[in-house]
Structure 1
Amino acid sequence: MTIGLGPITELSADECWEALGSRSLGRLAVTAAGTVDIFPVNYATRDRMLYFRTAPGTKLLELSINDRVAFEIDGATDEEAWSVVVKGRAERLELQSEIDAADTLPLSPWLPTLKYRWVRIVPEEVSGRRFERAPEPERY
């Protein structure tokens, strides 16, 4: 059920997950050592969790320091725009059975690099909004 706030509509959890399932590119925000980094990542969803693959580097290092993350996607048409934010905990998949299950997801790197590390985002909060697009009202 959506909740209307004038030109802004709050999305239900189901609508948020439907939007998340309709995209494959989002932005992952992580913090470590007082620094905030944002990474574009391609991802897939399953059972109301987000999955992505990565290689050793800054992203994986920062996730090992602080597993608290935010993830965001958005979209727009001429009539509306929308945004979904997931806040939760990132965990690297370690069990072979979990890795094997993740390998069945429709996900492959966009760049020609080897990315063998699977990360799952376990959501603690999911929120989204839809915005009606219209001309700006008179200011004065």
Structure 2
Amino acid sequence: MYLNDGFRELRRPECLRLLARAPIGRIVHTRHALPAVLPVNFSLEDGGAVLLRTAADSELVRAVDGAVVAFEADEIDAGARSAWSVVVTGPASVIRDPAETALLRRTGPRSWAPSPQEVFIRIAPELVTGRELVGGRTLYGVELSP
């Protein structure tokens, strides 16, 4: 029996191409031993590392520095019934090198809520996965009703 659930797995290069065009993503981390999700703007480095810019004294910095986190971005077109989602999983770290921080202030992501003292967080892309909605569910090539 052949069943198409309507989704196609994306390869890493496709994931990174889609991720690079997304304006907003969500960082998933642990807060008080529970999952927490926070929308953030970001930029993508060559190789797929995700860069965030946030207030140096934020709870996010304390929660993610040195922790394994997930970062997700997606695009959904409900009218066309099309969508994709990409997840980057890996350790997050605050960038502490002054020279690198100075460079990122010019080239890195711009904060939507600037703070007097900001830091950059890098999420290393140890695992990059994605899925794309490619059409309705089928069984032996026959479309199943929703």
Is the contact between residue 31 and residue 62 of structure 1 (CA under 8 Å) also seen in structure 2? yes
Output the CA distance in 2 between the equivalents of 1:38 and 1:114: 24
Greater shift in the superposed pair: 99-108 or 130-139: 130-139
The Cα of 1:138 is off from its aligned counterpart by 3.6
Give the Cα–Cα distance (whole angstroms) in 1 for the partners of residues 6 and 63 of structure 2.
Answer: 38
- 2:51 maps to which residue? 51
What TM-score comes out, normalization by structure 1 length? 0.84
> Greater shift after overlay, 87-96 or 127-136?
127-136
How many Å apart are 1:87 and its aligned residue? 0.4
Contact 1:30 1:38 (8 Å CA) reproduced: yes
- Letter paired with 1:95: D
Aligned residues: 134
Q: TM-score, normalised by structure 2?
A: 0.81
Seen in structure 2, the aligned counterparts of structure 1 residues 115 and 70 have a Cα distance that, compared at 3 Å, is: farther
Gaps of 5+ in 2: 138-142
For 1:70, the aligned partner's letter is A
Any runs of at least 4 consecutive aligned residues in structure 1 with deviations exceeding 3 A, and if so which? 112-115, 133-139
Aligned residue in 2 for 1:89? 91
State how far apart, in whole Å, the 1-side matches of 2:90 and 2:117 are.
Answer: 22
Amino acid at match of 2:52: F
The answer as to whether partners of 1:53 and 1:115 remain within 8 angstroms in 2 is: no
For 2:35 and 2:7, the matched residues in 1 are separated by: 28
Q: Which residue of 1 aligns with 2:140?
A: none
**Which structure has the larger Rg?**
2
Unaligned runs of 5+ in 1: none
Deviations 1:23-57 (A, max 9, x none): 12100011144122111110001112110111112
3-state SS of paired residue (1:104): helix
Q: Secondary structure at the match of 1:69?
A: strand
Amino acid at match of 1:38: V
1:9·1:129 contact (CA, 8 Å) conserved in 2? yes
Corresponding position: 1:34 with 2:33: yes
What secondary structure sits across from 2:126 in the alignment? strand
CA RMSD in angstroms comes to 2.2
Query: How is 1:52-67 mapped onto 2 (pairs within 5 angstroms)?
Result: 52-55=52-55, 56-64=57-65, 67=67
Classify the secondary structure of the residue corresponding to 1:128.
strand
Alpha-carbon deviations, 1:6-30, whole Å to 9, x = none?
5211111111000110012100011
